[in-house]
Amino acid sequence: MKSEKKSISNTGFSRIIKQVIHAPSFSVFIVMVLMCVLMYIVSPPFRSVNNLLSIAKNFSAYAIAGIGVTMVIITGGIDLSIGSIFGFSGVIAAMGMVEFGLPLMPAVLLGILTGTALGLINGLFIVKLKLPPFIATLGMLSIVRSLCYITTEGYPVTGLGKEFLFFGQGYILSIPTPIWLLAVIAIIFSIFLNKTVTGRRIYALGGNEEATRISGINTDRLKILVYSLGGCMYGIAGIITASKLGIGQPTAGNGYELDAIAAVVIGGASLSGGVGTVIGTLVGAAIMGILRNALVLLSIKSHWQQFIIGCVIIIAVTFDQLRKSNKLAKV
Amino acid sequence: MRSFPMKKMLLITTIFTLLACSLYAAGSTDGEVVIVVVPQQLGNIVFLPAKEGAEQAGKDLGVKVQWMAPVKAEAQLQVEVIEGLIERKVDGIAISCNHPDALKDVLARAISEGIVVSTFDADSPECGRPFYAGTENYQAGVICGEEMLKQYEGNNKSSISVAILEGIPGAFDIESRKKGFLDTIKGSNLKVVYVGACDDDVDKSVTIVEDYTRANPDLDAWFMAGGWPYIVQPGALPEMTKWKQSDPENHKVVTMDVFSSSIAFFDEGLIDVAVGQNFYSMGYLSVENLYNLISGGEVEGGMKKEGFPGLFIDTGGQIVTPANYKDEIAAE
């Protein structure tokens, strides 16, 4: 009897191990671990808890924006307006407090709602005007960035109250607030994508849009939802960054769209849709964060930094592709 | 696939046409003198005092001043802006060049088409402009180097380690400042141990400064070739604060640029010297002298320098220290 129980538990354990190994983002997770081990060996300052927390704090905003665009990419779409919505939401939240005299939470909500509304507009352009996501969000990238300059005249919004700084500079149980926010958002969206009907439909939409539509699912509504949620996430990320720096900057998030999309792709998502996970995006964002930290700690000349980031993106994704093709060959 | 309704298309086209017409009407000039000021990039906080100065000069002289810039600090994008201004046949252009050689030909073309062109902050001396207003970036770098050397006068350490923060690698103005700084400290006991590029991104600048300082608490000094980390609140730089306050006598910071937000950093003893350029004067004097030339007058306050084409209007600069920051930044 005892030996039977042991055998069952062994089977369960090995099943879990197999599941972990075959998880979509496992290979990039290995890349991340290898990077950490390498840095642990060559750079003593990397090992400090402060440094590790700082890395996590710095990539939290990218990762939250990345979670937003992960859902968009799963549907087979793309969002190039991430950086602009990121910047504008931060500016609006800051202006809400400084210019409109709103209390903390209404100002923050105003920023998040602004991001959500802009995401909703993206979705409406794509669904109602039948614009390709690349074009619709490229247009929004310019329009929203312009709004940043129009509303601020190019000046950063300063004079933010100390309570606002908690979101970017504060600590809960000795861990920076942005990390907590990232953890909560990652758990919510992981459950949403994997355990809810709407989440499964998002995957189905990316896998085969026509089949999903024929099966009676309102794909238009699903797309609008996904782009709106994306806008909401970019908004939250923008507000965290505004809080971290203590200013609402009209230039904030310039070019961040590529960083967020890179994190998602490194994390194993497919730009053709149907594939992608929140965990993968977290690992992708962590790889980018560790890399940036490593380049500073190792005093790598600035001119080489983009080169190295590009190489790591290609290596991580190639590693994942090879693993997937091996898996397919075995099937 | 559903076809897109014609009514909706007409509605959207009408909205865009009305918007374009209203924007055109807002930008029309009705025969008045138009001077366009072109900074290196829209949204770069450094240029905002120049905008204020230019607009004030416009008000004082009754001239229409327009502020036009590319969204990124790229020479090609500035060339496109200038080409548009040539087509619009504006009366004058004041520009801070992203690169002197890349802008040279298009500015020369503007001059040949009868537009009066001047440069401020970052020059393109070969383009044929009648005057330049500003402080040379190389010279600003030299001042920073001299100030850094002063900070360590009498320090007998064999090697003083300096980290440099720059913007976009290869950007002409920042490279000039860096070169001025490096040429000045050459042969001294100051040794550059690290150069980090923040791509003109404030968030990245904070991350770089924080990461490097945390990893290298024995670092002696920082030279910021641009004031990106001082646009934020001091709370965003806890590692830098810890490092600076742990040994204020030996840990030094010299930075380019002075903002109103720099006051909080001076209050906490986080900056030893900030070298500011007078952007307000650059904007004001550029518009004023362009207007003089357009209306048949002459450049005022310009001087001839050997080997320097055209006239040089020195707008001076300010050296802000913990001893004078309250007066200097308030006066600004």
Among candidates A109, A126, A114, which has minimal Cα distance to A222? A126
Question: Looking at residue B4, what is its pLDDT?
Answer: 53
Long-range CB contacts (< 8 A, 24+ apart) of B264-267?
B264/B233, B264/B234, B265/B230, B265/B234, B266/B320, B266/B322, B266/B325, B266/B326, B266/B329
Residue B209 has pLDDT above 70, yes or no: yes
Is the CB of residue A251 less than 8 Å away from at least one CB of chain B?
Answer: yes
Q: In what order do the strands lie in the sheet with B308-314?
A: B64-67, B34-38, B92-95, B116-120, B131-134, B308-314, B303-305
B193 reaches A (C-beta below 8 A): yes
Q: Measured between CB atoms, which of A245, A251, A302 is closest to B236? A: A245
Give the contacts of A179 (CB within 8 A, at least 6 positions apart): A53, A56, A57, A60
CA-based nearest residue in chain B for residue A255 = B201
pLDDT digits (tens, 9 = 90+) for B35-84: 999 998 887 788 888 999 999 999 999 999 999 988 777 888 899 999 99
Q: Of the candidates A131, A156, A108, which has an alpha carbon nearest to the alpha carbon of residue A252?
A: A156
Domains and CATH numbers, chain B: 31-135+279-316 (3.40.50.2300), 137-277 (3.40.50.2300)
ipTM: 0.77
Q: Touching check for A160 and chain B: CB below 8 Å?
A: yes
Q: Would you state the structure tokens that stand for residue B64, as one six-digit string? A: 């229409």
Crossing angle of helices B137-151 and B172-185, in 10° steps, is: 40
Tell me the backbone φ, ψ of residue A79, rounded to 5 degrees.
Answer: -135, 110
Could you give the CA distance from residue B180 to residue B33 in angstroms, rounded to a whole number?
Answer: 38
List the one residue out of B179, B188, B163 whose CA is nearest residue B244. Answer: B163
Average model confidence (pLDDT) across chain B: 88
pLDDT of residue B74: 82
The shortest CB-CB distance from A149 to any of B42, B72, B195 is to: B42
Q: Residue A246 is nearest to which of B43, B211, B233, comparing CB atoms?
A: B233
Report yes or no: B231 and B45 within 8 Å, Cβ to Cβ: yes
Residues of chain A with confidence (pLDDT) below 50: 1-3
pLDDT, position B32: 86
Contact A48 B211 (CB under 8 A): no
d(CA A20, CA A14) in angstroms, rounded, equals 10
Q: What beta strand segments (E) does chain B contain?
A: 34-38, 64-67, 92-95, 116-120, 131-134, 160-166, 190-197, 221-224, 252-256, 273-277, 303-305, 308-314, 317-320
Could you tell me if B279 and B50 are in contact, meaning their C-beta atoms sit under 8 angstroms apart? yes
- Chain B residue with CA closest to A44: the answer is B215
Give B-chain residues touching A245 at CB under 8 angstroms: 202-203, 206, 231-233, 236
Give B165-198 pLDDT, tens digit per residue.
Answer: 998 777 777 888 999 999 999 999 999 999 998 8
Which of B48, B202, B207 is closest, CB to CB, to A292?
Answer: B207
Any idea what DSSP says for residue B320? E
- How far apart, in whole angstroms, are the C-alpha atoms of residue A269 and residue B311? 58
Given an 8 Å threshold on Cβ–Cβ distance, is A299 in contact with B71?
no
- What digits encode the pLDDT tens for the residues A68-101? 999 999 999 999 999 999 999 999 999 999 999 9
Give the per-residue pLDDT at B1: 44
How far is A84 from B174, CA to CA, in rounded Å? 26
Cα-flanking dihedrals φ and ψ of residue B254, to 5°?
Answer: -120, 130
CB of B39 closer than 8 Å to CB of B73: no
- Under a CB-based contact definition with an 8 Å cutoff, are residues A231 and A117 in contact? yes
Q: In this predicted model, which residue has the larger pLDDT, A33 or B18?
A: A33
Three-state SS for A69? Answer: helix
**What pLDDT is stored for residue A273 in this prediction?**
87
Contact yes or no for A46 and B215 at CB 8 A: yes
Give the type of residue at B290: L
B212 and A250: CB-CB below 8 Å?
no
Instruction: Map residue B163 onto helix, strand or coil.
Output: strand
Q: pLDDT digits over A295-311, tens only?
A: 888 888 767 777 887 88
Within 8 A by CB and 6+ apart from B25, the residues are none
For residue B42, what pLDDT is reported? 81
